[in-house]
Structure 1
Amino acid sequence: MTSQTTDHLRRRNLSRVLTVLHEEGARSRAELTREVGLSRSTMAGVVADLVKLGLVTESTPTHTGGAGRPSGVVRLAGDVVAVAVNPEVDAVHVGLVGLGGRVIKHVRIEIPDTEVATIVGLAAATVRGMLAGDPMRVLGLGLAIPGQVRTRDGVVRQATHLGWSEVPIVAEVAKATGLRSWAANAATLAMRAESRFGAGKGVADLVYLIGGASGVGGGAVMGGRLLTGAAGYAGEFGHTVVRPGGARCHCGAAGCLEAEVDQATLLAAAGLDAADAARLGERLTQRLGGDPDLALAALVAELAGLLAIAVRNAVNVFNPQAIVLSGFLAALHDAARVDLVGDAVASIREGVAVRDAALGEEQLMIGAAELVWAELLADPAGFLAGA
């Protein structure tokens, strides 16, 4: 076996073991050996290499008196983090996320405008503040952008709610922070987070829809693989037409889901500010229970009916195992208590589960960090060599 082949196998094994730990959590070395299918001696070398790289720790085995040598527990290093940034129309979210989808810090900073310089400056200053005096090992920065992103060079082709067009956001953020940076569509990243750690884990065929301050987005996983489309822009469920001839959308069409069903309208009707969006579901439950607010009930029913059109179309086209709803769309569905898939083709809708996202406000932080972790997991040694 040539040295080149040996090095390739070593790097592949590092990737496989680190990925298991990232997705499933701490494991004993014996469990890793069984799950990954390596010999004990090979696994010992892989774990030793990951420890040297500073990516994992291994506890000292404790002898229990049973037969055989006890196995130490391998855990992800707690000081290895990625920075996550998600700009929205009303605020920029910045977080620190560890391996395994562990959100360590998450702050929301209201913004005076959506100018690129404003958001980049605030994000960079927030990152510096988060890391001041904290011995974290930062491996990169991921940006979750509410718009279309050309992932190969990190250029935002169009983010209409932010007023951005052809913005080299990755280059701007990397310059301001000094961190290796990546960017992708926010809804796609939120779906990746839910697929890996949340409501979509283990689901091979999934449709995901998220609603937030910057509109409605989504994505689909089919056969366990993310559908990206020819240019990487697939999954724009927010631009499904649900009311022909309806309200004009930012995209230029009329009657799109995100033009007809928006967070601001629901928040205003529920008497909440943008900063209280996480409380929307709770508030709707309060206002619609007991002696219900009839005007609010009528609005919720109308908007849920429009959402059902988009969901029905997605079910008929993709034949998924599950529909995962997130953000204000989950709150809307829970409040309306309507069957979103009832009008889909009978044979296609059979067995389709409609679920709320499990990761809450943290899914965009986790998803943005996955941009960094994807690079690390693919080749841990190579990634760190270029750090």
Structure 2
Amino acid sequence: MPGILGARVTHARRIGRQPDGGTVQGSSHDDVRRHNLSVVLRLVHRSGAASRSQLTRVTGLNRSTIAALVAELVDRGLVVEREPSSTNQVGRPSPIVSVSEQVVALAVNPEIDAVTIGIVGLDGQVHRRVRYPTDQSPSVLEAVNIAAAVIDGMRGELEARFKVVGIGVAVPGLVRAHDGLVRHAPHLGWIDEPLAEMLEAATGYPVLAANDASLGAMAERFFGAGKGITDLIYLNGGASGIGGGMIVGGAPAGGIAGYAGEFGHTRVSDSERVDSAGIRGTLEAEVTRRELLEVLGLAGADADELEQALRASTSPEVRAEVNRQIDHLAVALAGAINILNPQVVVLGGFLAALLAVDADRLRSAVAKHSLDAAFGTVRLSAAELGSNLLMIGAAELAFEGLLDDPAGLPATAPAGAPAESP
């Protein structure tokens, strides 16, 4: 596994970030055992399988402490150990530690035309994804009932194969961080809806909810285009508009209540077009999936199909619309780059299709509006996780409590039983 931890040492050492900005590596003192368990579990969760010797080197803990921590994580069913493959190393090879495939979270993503439910492993693998179409935008009660019914249908598989730590919900709207209250999801028509509380009551699992684009940013940072990156901006374009998320200094930047990253409401023009919040001339008002579909003469298409159609089109009208949207997108991206100075800007949904159709135009337009120094260090990239993006992001939200305190999950927890909140 050459380089897997070397590229992520910084992240491992930021897990114990202190209020003064300093960082803490693992310690062998008993009073920080839970912290040390968290350090080790986060490493193998987000960096992949690692040998005990690599964990020793990265954390700064001694071999006996790492052995004891790994043994406890094994007892709790969170990691497994295996012998390494053939090696030329002299002496006894160090066992390989990886997360258990049995530990999973459930992921839910309500949209204007469907509710998607998934089973996602601690290793980032999506074991199952079910998209339940709806004839119209679901109410919060309808979304909860659909998700609960699908999860009930999975109970047999969950109880037989997995240990479920909870549910994460990716919501296309503003979500209050501390209790999962959906303050405003305009395209769904939800205002001040206690989504997390309702879904927890319906399923029996602990539930956390957050903005979908913010969760997409987290997923791409750990498992996609932003792997190993500490400063990232993610923008997603979909049927519900444009949202975004930020990773700043290795940590999600959600704002005081979790509403940060609403790049779709950034002003990019003087036009009278209004977005879902009634604000004129914004990115969400000017750059829309609907207008791309209309100019192509399509009733609907997913992101991949839209990209293919745009690439294949020779229509001057299509090209003009693509150019118009790219130029407005560039204004918003340049502003974000000038303010946040990221290493990478990741585009998802139909925004990735615009990048794919004419990356040179987008880069040139962004450069025109950016400071030279800031633009010189940034990379524009399409999201890598595809249709699994929000499932992985929502699951990561559910895993966070476990990663913070692995000792909070009982060693004898029955497979499929909801875990106690840490």
State the TM-score, normalized to the length of structure 1.
Answer: 0.92
Aligned with residue 152 of structure 1, among 174, 178, 184: 178
1:75 maps onto 2:98 in alignment? yes
- The corresponding residue for 1:371 is 397
- The corresponding residue for 2:193 is 167
Structure 1 residues 244 and 66, CA gap change in structure 2 (3 angstroms):
closer
Q: Say how many residue pairs are matched.
A: 379
In 1, distance between residues paired with 2:88 and 2:227?
37
Q: Deviations over 1:264-302 (max 9, x none)?
A: 222333344545333211221122xxxx12211111111
In 2, distance between residues paired with 1:158 and 1:91?
18
- The corresponding residue for 2:420 is 386
Which runs of structure 2 are paired with 1:59-208 in the superposition (5 Å)?
A: 59-60=82-83, 67-113=90-136, 114-134=138-158, 135=160, 136-208=162-234
Aligned with residue 44 of structure 1, among 67, 77, 80: 67
Whether the aligned pair in 1 keeps the contact of 2:216 and 2:393 (CA below 8 Å) is yes
Structure 1 residues 66 and 263, CA gap change in structure 2 (3 angstroms):
closer
Q: Secondary structure at the match of 1:74?
A: strand
Whether the aligned pair in 2 keeps the contact of 1:111 and 1:119 (CA below 8 Å) is no
Shift in Å at residue 182 of structure 1?
0.2
Whether the aligned pair in 2 keeps the contact of 1:267 and 1:277 (CA below 8 Å) is no
Q: Secondary structure at the match of 2:381?
A: strand
Q: Secondary structure at the match of 1:342?
A: helix
In 1, distance between residues paired with 2:404 and 2:193?
28
Which runs of structure 2 are paired with 1:16-31 in the superposition (5 Å)?
A: 16-31=39-54
Whether the aligned pair in 1 keeps the contact of 2:169 and 2:207 (CA below 8 Å) is yes
- The corresponding residue for 2:58 is 35
Shift in Å at residue 64 of structure 1?
6.7
Structure 1 residues 77 and 304, CA gap change in structure 2 (3 angstroms):
same
- The corresponding residue for 2:25 is none
Root-mean-square deviation (Å): 2.0
Whether the aligned pair in 1 keeps the contact of 2:286 and 2:325 (CA below 8 Å) is yes
- The corresponding residue for 1:223 is 249
In 1, distance between residues paired with 2:165 and 2:115?
21
Q: Secondary structure at the match of 1:207?
A: strand
Aligned with residue 294 of structure 2, among 254, 264, 268: 268
Q: Secondary structure at the match of 1:41?
A: helix
Shift in Å at residue 353 of structure 1?
1.1
Aligned with residue 312 of structure 2, among 286, 290, 293: 286
Shift in Å at residue 175 of structure 1?
0.9
Shift in Å at residue 325 of structure 1?
0.9
- The corresponding residue for 2:238 is 212
- Stretches of structure 1 that go unaligned for 5 or more consecutive residues are none
1:306 maps onto 2:331 in alignment? no
Aligned residues: percent identity?
47
Q: Secondary structure at the match of 1:152?
A: coil
Q: Secondary structure at the match of 1:117?
A: helix
In 1, distance between residues paired with 2:134 and 2:128?
19
- Stretches of structure 2 that go unaligned for 5 or more consecutive residues are 1-27, 411-418
Aligned with residue 341 of structure 1, among 351, 366, 384: 366
Q: Which amino acid aligns with 2:154?
A: M
